[in-house]
Amino acid sequence: MTDTSKSEQVRQIIADTLFMSLEEIGADASQDSVRNWDSLQQLNLVLALEQTFNVRFKPEEFAAMTSVEKILEQLSLKGA
Amino acid sequence: MNDQGGTITLVDIRKNIDQAIGAKDASLARALMTELWSAYPGPASAPLILSGFQALEELGDEVDVNPLNVCVLRSFAVEPCVPILKATALLGHIKLDVTLGEFNTYAQDILSPESPAYAPDTDCVILGVQTRDIAPDLWIRQGKPVSERVADVIGSFESLINTFRSHSDAYLLVHNLQQPAWAGEGILDVASAQSQRDAICQINRGLVAAAAKHKGVYVLDYDALVARHGRANWSDESRWLSMRLPVAMENLHHLSDEWLKYLVPMSGRVAKALVVDLDNTLWGGVLGEDGVGGIQLDGEYPGAAYQAVQQVLLDLSRRGVILAVCSKNDEADALKVIESHPGMLVGTDSFSVLKINWQDKATNIRAIAEELNIGTDAIAFLDDNAAERLWVRQSLPEVCVIELSDDPMTFADALRRTPVFERLGLSSEDKQRNQQYAEQRQRDDLQGSMASLEDFYRSLDMQLDVFSVTPAEVARVAQLTQKTNQFNLTTRRYSEADISRFLNDPSFDVFAARVIDRFGDSGIIAVVIVEVEDTKVRLDTFLMSCRVIGKTVETGILSIIASELEGKGIKTLTGHFIASAKNSPAGSFLADHGFKEDEDLGWQIKLPAASLRVPDWFKA
């Protein structure tokens, strides 16, 4: 999977979890910049990423995944 | 990674769903969402299902939903379960409104009248408390005597249940306590007098007893749920410690499914009947190609998989679920297999209706629903063929089409997993239901072997009971005027208040009729309402349940009433036939019984009339 399509897939999952559209989640989106992205949604988001990419995130990784960029970083560390 | 081993990806199905919604094809979108959920149930798919249904609403999708308001009180995080629960429910035509008590305030929520548990339109409260939260020293053995703890914990549950019930009549669903994966005493625990496992079992039994003291309180066997998926695999301990979510991601939808086994019957959106295919569903192979000697149905592999399906059918039938067959086969050949193949566990008398023909299955399912006098929304459908399943899903989106994988070894489980067959209790009517339908089929079979129709009528040993309606029958009478469409002369719909008014009006007479024959008592199956004007009587309403059509019951009823009216000095009977979309069976009723049509006065007949005599096959 190319980098752009992986980025799009992650953005799509964030958009789905927050019931927003793909266009509203840019490549630079983060917990700080997106209004609905709070700690409850963080949990739902991590679970959705785990199901989609068939990976498990440890608590410390979970806490670090606060932006599209950081999520992509964690996924590539897991070889997903 | 998915339960069904499908090769189409989540991304692909999602694209197809978006296309279907874009093309405004609601039934295809719905069918694809069902496939998506079946292949990839879980937190990633749930938002897609929820927004998909949002889009369907905007498209004006027409399938009815049953609403249910649920409140979950808990000692652990359940928030991620909520979208999963709502998505699964929507696919089963149930719209859930879910509120949550605050994290771990379940006791305060039950004790406080302002809590969300007591919101006025709450239908069901779920109380989910973990062993480690209510009995921490049984979760991790601390060497104290367990017997005192057992009584304490049972007492806590009793108090919670009693308090809840004193404030609310809503359903209460209480999780029982799960066993730890490892007992503190290791292999000594199973035979220990201080057994940790045994203590939890005692608490769970005490919980069942406490629930049984009240109406509408149920125990959800959380321990059995966990055991089913493996105590070693159910939990995610680090997620419990960091997020208070004890259930591992891949098990969230299993918890949701278990809740639905209760919420579905509570909502009323259950399946009253199960329609099953034959080839590769009730037996292995295709009868038309493999012949009766080539189909697989026995205790070995793979025939045993199909016997397992038949065993589930027997279990469901005992629960009051009606069984029917819908198969594309030669009828005589298929019936022969059902009647006499040694591997069959069900027989022809297990089924209330058998549609074995070459018609499409949606048409057959509609006919089955009509014959059983139930809605298509109360039918579940089991068929190994994905194309047939898709056809029925698209033609009849309200039917519960059970999703199956390619592997027959999973079919019986798929049936057992389906929540639409669950019941909160069994009424005596449920237990009798299949017997009533079996009696009806015996009546129908008898018709085939009689030499003449008159012999057939005679063999039924019918007794007609025609009587003037009293207030006790008003509800049933009104219901019949509202439900009966086919043998209904004028299709006038009356409420209970209307019927009561007729009873109190001296110029109206309301009659009802029952038939008792050698197979049983039909209950009230006909209503006749007449208006008396001097020596003339007008038939305002003459209707009969389709269950008794074809046995001259209408002749008997009309004749008995005519005779009674004649005895009171009535000289003329009049009536009208008001045609509707469905009542052609009653179209020739008046003409058949000697009424003559008059342009101004409608149909009429003078009493006494030779054509209005009770046939002699009715017992006096």
Which chain B residue shows the shortest CA-CA distance from A9? B11
Q: What is the pLDDT of residue B140?
A: 78
Q: pLDDT band at B4, cuts 50/70/90? A: very low
Nearest to B43 among A48, A54, A56 (CB): A48
Domain ranges of chain B: 1-60, 64-181+192-267, 273-429, 453-619
Class of domain B453-619: alpha beta
* Nearest by Cα to B515 from B455, B475, B556, B456: B556
Instruction: Indicate the fold that domain B273-429 takes in CATH.
Output: Rossmann fold (3.40.50)
pTM: 0.73
Residue B419 or B619, more confident: B419
Q: Write out B190-258 in H/E/C secondary structure.
A: HHCCCCHHHHHHHHHHHHHHHHHCCCCEEEECHHHHHHHHCHHHHECHHHHHHHCCCECHHHHHHHHHH
Chain A interface mutation, best of B249, B251, B252, B254, highest count of A Cβ atoms under 10 Å:
B249
- Is the Cβ of B82 closer than 8 Å to some Cβ of chain A? no
Residue B435 or B57, more confident: B57
Instruction: Using the predicted structure, report yes or no on whether residue B345 has a pLDDT greater than 80.
Output: yes
pLDDT digits (tens, 9 = 90+) for B98-117: 999 998 899 999 999 889 99
Q: What is the pLDDT of residue B459?
A: 76
Nearest to B238 among A13, A17, A58 (CB): A58
Instruction: Using the predicted structure, report yes or no on whether residue B444 has a pLDDT greater than 70.
Output: no
Residue B481 or B60, more confident: B481
Interatomic CA distance for residues B258 and B251, integer angstroms: 11
A59–B241 CB contact, under 8 Å? yes
Residue B354 or B394, more confident: B354
B79–A51 CB contact, under 8 Å? no
Pairing of strands B322-327, B353-356: parallel
Domain at B64-181+192-267: CATH architecture = 3-Layer(aba) Sandwich (3.40)
- A-proximal residues of B, 251-310, CB under 8 Å: 252
User: Which residues make beta-bridge pairs with B283?
Assistant: B279
Interatomic CA distance for residues B210 and B150, integer angstroms: 14
Q: What is the pLDDT of residue B92?
A: 95
pLDDT digits (tens, 9 = 90+) for B283-333: 999 999 999 999 999 999 999 999 999 999 999 999 999 999 999 999 999
B44–A9 CB contact, under 8 Å? no
- Going residue by residue through chain A (80 aa), what tens digit of pLDDT does each one get? 566 789 999 999 999 999 999 999 999 999 999 999 998 899 999 999 999 999 999 999 988 899 999 999 999 999 88
Q: What is the pLDDT of residue B317?
A: 95
Is residue B279 exposed (0-12), middle (13-18) or buried (19+ Cβ within 10 Å)? buried
Buried b (16+ CB within 10 A) or exposed e, B55-80: bbeeeebeeebbebbbbbbbbbbbbb
Given this chain, do its domains B64-181+192-267 and B273-429 carry the same CATH topology?
yes
**Contact status, residue A44 vs residue A36, Cβ threshold 8 Å:** no
Q: What is the pLDDT of residue B257?
A: 98
**Contact status, residue B267 vs residue B260, Cβ threshold 8 Å:** no
pLDDT digits (tens, 9 = 90+) for B503-520: 999 999 999 999 988 767
* Nearest by Cα to B399 from B75, B14, B27, B80: B27
Q: Which residue numbers of A have CB closer than 8 Å to B's CBs? A: 9, 13, 16-17, 19, 40, 43-44, 47-52, 54, 56, 58-59, 62
The three-point CA angle B277-B278-B280 to 5° equals 100
CATH of A3-77, one of 1.10.579.10, 3.20.20.80, 1.10.1200.10, 3.40.1450.10: 1.10.1200.10
Cβ atoms within 10 Å, residue B307: 20
Interatomic CA distance for residues B467 and B83, integer angstroms: 55
Q: What is the pLDDT of residue B144?
A: 64
Q: What is the pLDDT of residue B3?
A: 42
B43–A16 CB contact, under 8 Å? no
Q: What is the pLDDT of residue B442?
A: 65
Q: What is the pLDDT of residue B406?
A: 92
Mean pLDDT in residue range B65-71? 96
Interatomic CA distance for residues A18 and A42, integer angstroms: 10
**Contact status, residue B611 vs residue B594, Cβ threshold 8 Å:** yes
End-to-end CA distance of chain B: 70
User: Would you say how long chain B is, in residues?
Assistant: 620
Q: Which of B42-46, B147-151, B195-199, B528-532 has the lowest mean pLDDT?
A: B147-151
Contacts of B86 in chain A (CB under 8 A): none
A51–B50 CB contact, under 8 Å? no
- DSSP code at position B5: -
